[in-house]
Homo-oligomer: A and B are copies of this chain.
């Protein structure tokens, strides 16, 4: 294992694999619940790789996935680049403070076949043994609003 890059120290609380469950809502779709697994990994360089997968809680079939890289910038500032298999690529900026990462998109790109997403806000925060993750999203012409929230526990 490589030693953690000093720039990544504010993200050390995230490192590892976490599993749990979440719920989702959006005006254009039915409410849903899901099982989630996320991992945050480093290779000794000044970024943390993020990967996420969700499954339908009932059927076990895959639902969502996303992958990205967190880039700490010092002074509690942080950047995230993120892609989703729905054809969305996001650039986000925000802060990390006291095991709480808050990010807002500065740009969202979609492939020609992607559903229109114009903005997101994302939060990852650890409270005791629990990692919580939430996403707010402006999509399908609607304004930015709560979309999903989950609770996960450390697997490794």
Q: Which residues of A contact B (CB under 8 A)?
A: 2, 43-45, 47, 49, 51, 61-62, 65, 67-69, 71, 73, 79, 81-85, 87-91, 93, 107, 109-113
In the assembled complex, the Cα of A85 lies from the Cα of B48 at a distance in Å of: 8
Are A88 and B79 in contact, with the CB atoms below 8 A? no
A85 engages B44 (CB within 8 Å): no
Q: Is the CB of A49 within 8 A of B85?
A: yes
Copies of this chain in its oligomeric complex? 2
* Contact of A89 (CB < 8 Å), options: B49, B73, B89: B89
- Residue A79 contacts which of B47, B51, B69, B113 (CB distance < 8 angstroms)? B113
User: Do A88 and B81 have beta carbons less than 8 Å apart?
Assistant: yes
Q: Do residues B83 and A68 form an inter-chain contact, with CB atoms below 8 A?
A: yes
Interface centre among A69, A90, A109, A112, by most chain B C-beta atoms within 10 angstroms, is A69
Give Cα distance in the complex from A82 to B84, angstroms: 9
